[in-house]
């Protein structure tokens, strides 16, 4: 996807493509001129509002026709009209083909998070099963076993290295750990770290229970162990028939040499592997790596369920819940109408929402999900997907991808199982959201609040954590759209106060959080705060009258409304369910009751603030006590070198007491770096 060209839409040399009307009249003349100047070429377009926020990213085979269709029609009173009315600027990128447009579109969606596109958010990296690489020629005679010649199998997340072997990705950590246990059971590969391996003088418990072949104490040669590693890798690739044939040949060879104990060991391996294959019920001749994708729409929410088959083994599934679905599907319907050359006043075809909406979900997921991760050779889907997408994915990945819409036999069973799980996951999401919405509504009613939009009701909660005044930290957690918004969480290091003074800590964190907001409000003449620094509808502080009094002082000094502040005071005996709400504006305390939905929400937010504060405090305390930060602050010392130094000298104090020559003996530490470390610590 190279040589993209961004069009300069300023000359207006093309004939006007915008028919006069109510829609076009609300847009800047420069924008309409830019639309008229678009070329009839494939490309990607981006719409922006007056604040420079990205509204929508779209692709087109014909940019001029597609973009003009938004401004030629009357979309009043619809989601599309709401979006189109906000457009003040656009950018376009011309590409060579529809496939390039499709890939660029979804790269931009994933990185820029536009408001009106289907967006699949997944901040977690996928886990892999890793088998460490070994030198190609192990020595035939070794005084003591060397871990470098005996591959290790382990659970792994992170960047890949060419010298190691990776299998996956897996849907979750449980699937990887189960696979590791299977490899231990069948092939008896080691899982211990190299430092443990190097210091063993007798076999560990895993050898005793026949989950390891004991390479650390020389119970198996490097050549024999390498054969087991090769068999394990072949098994993970789905080559089970070849693995069983090789094991059978080894068993017969041992039997011919009258090595009956070794033959029995191989026979036990074959038996364990056969039982495993029977439990998995896989088709070992056909199925290698397959992803099963199911899309479901219900109650205004959507779910794409991804089930993974790796090496012929079904590893489980993972649900994804996209955002902006209704807006994006409405826009897609307009684009579909424009592509079909329907009359300007025609409504979206009813078949789109009923049939193609799930296909649009799958297309968005496939295009965004497989950016940067391996693509299996076969995708089983619940609804039709555009062939151009699969062709583009094949070109991008270099893997010939086969799409199966109506599978048979085992694949059909996998698809039906994925569909059932998608139904369950979507029902669970709707139930949870309904419960959370009910809790939000109950809290609003209990506090007699009147938010403009219940979905945008924002709560910020503060808590202080320390250990006898050490490493004091404050947390701020955010609840909005009926759920915790972890992206907006903040931690504050509290300094310059008397250790253990919770009131001073609360005063400092509230002042730091809201001083800039108050200043922005004053400059705007009391208008609403910007989206980058929003004013919460409710501020919870974990504490009673004392903490609320401190908050009242801060808000009074900043000129903010005292009605925003509510304290969560623990009840008699600090028992859960007996909490009372304390108000800064003079209202009487309120006891909501043990079974109150509003109290459940308050307790949920308060407990999350406490968790977030205490985890930060513990990390800060550990850093202060170990002095680890002293090493990290030295240029050239990363996590690996820091770990090597601490392991060699037993801690920062030992590193500080070491001479330059002693420091230089540590792996990765040059003599110049050793001198820099010595200077920094003295």
Element (H, E) at 154: strand 153-156
Using one digit for the tens of pLDDT, what is the confidence trace for 212-237? 988 998 888 888 888 888 888 887 77
Tokens representing residue 53 in the block: 């926020």
pLDDT of 281: 40
For residues 547 and 336, the model is more confident at 547
Q: How confident is the model at residue 18 (pLDDT cuts 50, 70, 90)?
A: very low
Computed over every residue of the chain, the mean pLDDT equals: 78
pLDDT of 549: 92
Q: How confident is the model at residue 461 (pLDDT cuts 50, 70, 90)?
A: very high
Distance spanning both ends of the chain, measured CA to CA: 53
pLDDT of 645: 81
Using one digit for the tens of pLDDT, what is the confidence trace for 654-674? 787 788 888 888 888 888 888
Q: Is the pLDDT of residue 622 over 70?
A: no
For residues 124 and 555, the model is more confident at 555
Query: Lowest-pLDDT range, 82-86, 314-318, 345-349, 572-576?
Result: 345-349
Using one digit for the tens of pLDDT, what is the confidence trace for 541-555? 988 888 999 999 999
Kindly provide the residue ranges of all beta strands, DSSP E only, lying in 481-577, ordered along the sequence. 483-484, 490-493, 538-542, 565-569
pLDDT of 139: 58
Tell me the range of 50-54, 80-84, 334-338 where mean pLDDT is highest: 50-54
For residues 9 and 187, the model is more confident at 187
Q: How confident is the model at residue 282 (pLDDT cuts 50, 70, 90)?
A: very low
Whose tokens are 């108050």? That residue is: 518
pLDDT of 324: 76
Q: Is the pLDDT of residue 348 over 60?
A: no
Measured distance CA(153)–CA(675) in Å, rounded: 38
What residue spans of 213-315 are helical by DSSP H?
Answer: 222-236, 240-256, 260-280
For residues 123-134, give the mean pLDDT.
78
pLDDT of 478: 93
Share of the chain above pLDDT 70, in %: 81
Task: Give 3-state DSSP helix, strand, coil % of the chain, rounded to 5.
Answer: 50, 15, 35
- For 26, which DSSP code? G
Share of the chain above pLDDT 90, in %: 9
- Comparing CA positions, the residue from 638, 631, 621 lying closest to residue 656 is 631
Element (H, E) at 473: strand 470-480
Query: Lowest-pLDDT range, 127-141, 276-290, 417-431, 470-484?
Result: 276-290
Using one digit for the tens of pLDDT, what is the confidence trace for 476-531? 999 998 888 888 899 898 888 888 888 999 999 999 999 888 888 887 765 554 44
Question: Do the bridges between strand 54-60 and strand 470-480 make them parallel or antiparallel, or are there none, so unpaired?
Answer: unpaired
Q: Which residues contact 265 (CB under 8 A, 6 or more apart)?
A: none
For residues 371-381, give the mean pLDDT.
84
pLDDT of 527: 54
Tokens representing residue 385 in the block: 């997907």
Whose tokens are 């989601």? That residue is: 79
Q: Is the pLDDT of residue 278 over 70?
A: no
**Strand, coil or helix: 146:** coil
Measured distance CA(543)–CA(565) in Å, rounded: 11
Sheet-wide strand order for 89-94 = 5-6, 89-94, 43-48, 54-60
Q: Are 207 and 411 in contact (CB under 8 A)?
A: no
pLDDT of 511: 92
pLDDT of 542: 87
pLDDT of 269: 67
């Amino acid at each position: 996807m190279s040589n993209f060209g961004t069009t300069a839409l300023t000359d207006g040399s093309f004939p006007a493509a915008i028919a006069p009307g109510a829609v076009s009249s609300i847009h800047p003349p420069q924008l309409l001129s830019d639309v008229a100047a678009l070329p009839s070429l494939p490309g990607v377009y981006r719409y922006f509002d007056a604040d420079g926020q990205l509204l929508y990213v779209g692709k087109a085979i014909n940019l001029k026709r597609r973009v003009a269709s938004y401004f030629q029609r009357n979309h009043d009173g619809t989601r599309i009209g709401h979006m189109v009315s906000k457009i003040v600027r656009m950018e376009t990128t011309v590409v060579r083909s529809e496939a390039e447009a499709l890939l660029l579109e979804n790269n931009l969606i994933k990185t820029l998070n536009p408001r009106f596109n289907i967006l699949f958010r997944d901040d977690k990296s996928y886990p892999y099963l890793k088998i460490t690489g070994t030198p190609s020629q192990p020595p035939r005679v070794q005084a003591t076993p060397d871990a470098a010649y005996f591959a290790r199998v382990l659970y792994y997340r992170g960047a890949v290295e060419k010298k190691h072997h990776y299998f996956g990705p897996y849907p979750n950590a449980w699937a990887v750990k189960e696979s590791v246990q299977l490899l231990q059971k069948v092939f008896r590969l080691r899982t211990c770290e190299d430092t443990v391996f190097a210091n063993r003088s007798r076999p560990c418990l895993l050898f005793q229970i026949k989950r390891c072949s004991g390479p650390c104490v020389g119970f198996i040669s490097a050549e024999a162990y390498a054969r087991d590693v090769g068999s394990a890798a072949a098994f993970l690739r789905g080559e089970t028939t070849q693995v069983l044939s090789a094991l059978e040949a080894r068993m017969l060879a041992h039997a011919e040499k009258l090595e009956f104990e070794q033959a029995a060991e191989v026979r036990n391996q074959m038996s364990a592997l056969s039982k495993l294959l029977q439990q998995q019920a896989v088709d070992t001749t056909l199925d290698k790596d397959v992803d099963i994708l199911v899309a479901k729409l219900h109650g205004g929410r959507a779910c794409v369920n991804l089930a993974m088959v790796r090496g012929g083994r079904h590893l489980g599934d993972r649900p994804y819940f996209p955002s902006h679905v209704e807006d994006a599907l409405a826009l897609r319907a307009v684009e579909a109408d424009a592509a079909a050359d329907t009359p300007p006043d025609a409504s979206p075809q009813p078949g789109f929402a009923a049939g193609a909406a799930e296909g649009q979900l799958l297309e968005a997921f496939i295009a965004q999900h497989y950016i940067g991760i391996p693509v299996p050779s076969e995708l089983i889907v619940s609804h039709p997907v555009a062939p151009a997408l699969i062709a583009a994915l094949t070109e991008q990945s270099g893997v010939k991808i086969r799409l199966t819409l109506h599978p048979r036999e085992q694949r059909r069973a996998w698809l039906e199982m994925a569909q059932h799980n998608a139904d369950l996951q979507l029902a669970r999401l709707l139930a949870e959201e309904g419960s959370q919405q009910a809790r939000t509504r109950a809290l609003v009613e209990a506090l007699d609040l009147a938010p403009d939009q219940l979905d945008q009701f924002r709560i910020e909660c503060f808590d202080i954590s320390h250990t006898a005044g050490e490493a004091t930290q404050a947390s701020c957690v955010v609840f909005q759209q009926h759920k915790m918004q972890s992206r907006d969480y903040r931690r504050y290091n509290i300094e310059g106060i008397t250790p253990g003074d919770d009131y001073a800590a609360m005063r400092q964190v509230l002042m730091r959080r809201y001083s800039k907001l108050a200043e922005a409000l004053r400059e705007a003449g009391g208008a609403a705060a910007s989206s980058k620094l929003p004013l919460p509808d409710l501020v919870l502080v974990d504490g009673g009258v004392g903490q609320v009094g401190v908050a009242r002082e801060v808000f009074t000094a900043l000129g903010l409304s005292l009605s925003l502040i509510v304290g969560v005071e623990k009840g008699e005996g600090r028992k859960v369910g007996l909490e009372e709400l304390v108000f800064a504006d003079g209202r009487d305390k309120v006891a909501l009751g043990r079974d109150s939905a509003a109290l459940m929400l308050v307790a949920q937010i308060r407990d999350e603030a406490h968790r977030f504060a205490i985890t930060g405090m513990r990390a800060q305390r550990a850093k202060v006590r170990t002095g680890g930060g002293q090493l990290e602050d030295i240029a050239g010392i990363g996590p690996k070198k820091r770990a090597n130094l601490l392991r060699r000298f037993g801690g920062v104090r030992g590193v500080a007491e070491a001479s330059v020559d002693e420091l230089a003996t540590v792996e990765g530490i040059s003599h110049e770096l050793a001198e820099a470390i010595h200077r920094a610590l003295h």
